[in-house]
Amino acid sequence: MAIQNPPVSQTRSFSTVFLIEMWERFGFYGMQVLMVTYMMKKLGFIDTKANLVWGAAAALIYATPAIGGWVGDKLIGTRRTMLTGAVVLALGYALLWIPSNNPTLLYCALGVIVVGNGFFKPNAGNLVRKIYEGDDTRIDSAFTIYYMAVNVGSMVSMTATPWIRNYVGTHYSDAMGWHTAFGACAVGLALGLGNYLLMYRTLAHIGSPADDRPVGAGRAAAVFVVSLALVFVAAGILQSLTVAKGAVILAGIVILGIFAYLIAISQKSERAGLIAALVLTVQTIFFFIFYAQMATSLNLFAQKNVNLSFDVFGIHLFNWIPEQYQNLNAIWIVILSPLLVAAYNTLGRIGRDPSVAFKFALGFAAVALGFFMYGFGALSAVDGQVSSWTMVWGYGLYSLGELLVSGLGLAMIARYVPARMGGFMMGAYYVAVGISQYLGSVVANLAAMPENISSPVESLNIYVGLFNKLGFVGIGCTVIAVVMLPLMNRLSRSHAEAHTPLPAVRSEEA
């Protein structure tokens, strides 16, 4: 009789995905935190061009998972595709390590990162969905913890890479400082890959049917050739902002077409869930327009209009590098995630867990308050600079909103979308996020600095004007989300009823 290995616990399987995701986000956010200022300070881009190039790159980074999800579901398997993506991402960060100020190398490196993220992102999320499939309360909690993994990695890297840039730049050369910081992203992901190879057996029973089939040489070659072509397509798009704009419009049309097609071909029992997912995805697009401000307008605001000293009752504690303020987002996510998980679990046990739609409404309200906080801090600004603590509380509210909206976006797909569409819909969700990343960079350019602006007081007025407008838009999104709650609750009930097994009929002969 064959000896069977003991079953692997959900926690061990989840930990494996959690850790590779944490290291992958270490690399991504370590790169993102520097990218806009790198383009401006080293490549000579003006702020509007830097914002739009990064917005286009972010859009592609979030759009390609639609392809990667399909590759994982149908071609080479969810686990294999995730691992391939991590390796490709490490290569992309390594290209940024090369000491060159040639924009073409930057575009090519971003192209590699786009493709790597497309393979990695949907398949990592889909593995988490498969681990907790059928357990709605634990899915919300698992994805919130999973979202915390993103922010543990980014919290470390967004602190480290600006410091590495400054330290190496001061002691060696400015150019070496930038590229060494990018190199740290590649090293971090290499460590994550090593850790995954030690733990991969915990995922042997999780994945798509393609994971259990060998990958033929022809199929592997086709994936490689198409991936290489996508790298050059992405690099070409980034070099032409007109093409980038057209690509975003096309992506918007495609994402609506995908939902319309899937709703049309779905079974009656699946339709309510898909419609609910569509409504929540549209709301997510609006949220990520706010989110995109972190790397663009809020980053540049910290460069020009924030007092970098942290003081308490007049006592100086420490100074931060302007880019490091983006790290406040990750710090707050790590602090707030366990509190929300505890709240979800407690409310779930007594049957009072709020709906995803209600959590989205609360999230938009928190984001609106967060952006108003920057305007409030400007009332006590000195020489055009607000206190560092204004950034702390603004990011705190903003991050609470992020957890309630973005943190549950993946859980929403896991809950409402049929399992057979899981990987593809994870990818479609990220296409929607990509669209909003580009739109967010367009919004950030509303605070572009005219050439004749040199006073911090003048730039403060421009940035605060944008942040106040975003606060009012956040209020509008909150109102819309609240008004739609009855519809969303009906759709959620219809979905739940369609997926509740009928009680067994007792036989008269029993």
* The pair of three-digit structure tokens given for residue 60, joined into one six-digit string: 């592609």
Q: How far apart are CA 277 and CA 231, in angstroms?
A: 30
- Angle at which helix 388-416 crosses helix 136-171, to 10 degrees, equals 140
Tell me which residue has tokens 């290995």: 5
- pLDDT in the model for residue 484: 75
Q: What is the DSSP string of 332-361?
A: HHHHHHHHHHHHHHHHHHTT-PPPHHHHHH
CATH of the domain at 266: 1.20.1250.20
- Is residue 509, in this structure, part of any structural domain at all? no
The residues with which 310 forms a beta bridge, in sequence order, are 318
The residues with which 320 forms a beta bridge, in sequence order, are none
Q: How far apart are CA 302 and CA 232, in angstroms?
A: 34
| DSSP letter (8 states) at residue 309 | E
- pLDDT in the model for residue 507: 40
| DSSP letter (8 states) at residue 8 | P
Query: Contact 349/383 with Cβ under 8 angstroms?
Result: no
**Burial of 347: CB neighbours in 10 Å, binned 0-12, 13-18, 19+:** middle
- Locate all alpha helices (DSSP H) within 200-267, ordered by sequence: 217-239, 241-265
What is the extent of the structural domain holding 293?
A: 11-207+216-495
> 23: closest CA among 95, 115, 127, 93?
93
pLDDT tens for the chain, 510 residues: list them: 344 444 556 777 787 888 888 899 899 999 999 999 999 999 999 999 999 999 999 888 887 877 887 788 788 888 888 889 999 999 999 999 998 889 999 999 999 999 999 899 878 877 877 777 666 666 666 776 776 767 788 889 999 999 999 999 999 998 899 999 999 999 999 999 998 888 888 887 777 777 778 878 888 888 889 899 999 999 999 988 888 888 888 877 877 777 777 777 777 766 666 776 777 777 778 888 898 899 899 999 999 999 999 998 888 999 999 999 999 988 898 888 888 878 877 887 887 777 777 887 888 899 999 999 999 999 999 999 999 999 999 999 988 988 887 656 556 666 666 666 665 666 677 777 888 888 999 999 988 888 777 788 889 999 999 999 999 999 998 888 888 777 766 666 665 666 555 454 444 443
- pLDDT in the model for residue 463: 93
Q: How far apart are CA 315 and CA 317, in angstroms?
A: 6
Quote the number of domains for the chain.
1
Q: What angle do CA 215, 221, 225 make, to 5 degrees?
A: 140
- Is residue 510, in this structure, part of any structural domain at all? no
> 37: closest CA among 172, 199, 158?
158
Residues 6+ apart with CB under 8 A from 77: 207, 208, 210, 211, 212, 213, 215
Residues 6+ apart with CB under 8 A from 477: 283, 286, 287, 364, 367, 368
Q: How far apart are CA 128 and CA 15, in angstroms?
A: 10
- pLDDT in the model for residue 505: 44
- pLDDT in the model for residue 269: 67
Distance of alpha carbon 268 from the chain centroid: 32
Query: Contact 160/30 with Cβ under 8 angstroms?
Result: yes
- pLDDT in the model for residue 257: 77
- Is residue 506, in this structure, part of any structural domain at all? no
- pLDDT in the model for residue 300: 92
The residues with which 315 forms a beta bridge, in sequence order, are 312
| Cα pseudo-dihedral 346, 347, 349, 354, rounded to 10 | -150
- Is residue 267, in this structure, part of any structural domain at all? yes
Residues 6+ apart with CB under 8 A from 49: 39, 241
- Is residue 501, in this structure, part of any structural domain at all? no
Q: How far apart are CA 191 and CA 181, in angstroms?
A: 16
- pLDDT in the model for residue 4: 42
Query: Contact 184/160 with Cβ under 8 angstroms?
Result: yes
Q: How far apart are CA 188 and CA 192, in angstroms?
A: 6
Distances (CA, A) of 13 to 19, 43, 132: 10, 43, 10
- Angle at which helix 136-171 crosses helix 327-349, to 10 degrees, equals 170
- pLDDT in the model for residue 264: 76
Distance of alpha carbon 391 from the chain centroid: 21
Q: How many CB atoms are located within 10 Å of the residue 156 CB?
A: 19
Q: What is the DSSP string of 116-161?
A: HHHHHHHHHHHHHHHHTTT-HHHHHHHHHHHHHHHHHHHHHHHHHH
Q: pTM value?
A: 0.82
- Is residue 500, in this structure, part of any structural domain at all? no
- Is residue 405, in this structure, part of any structural domain at all? yes
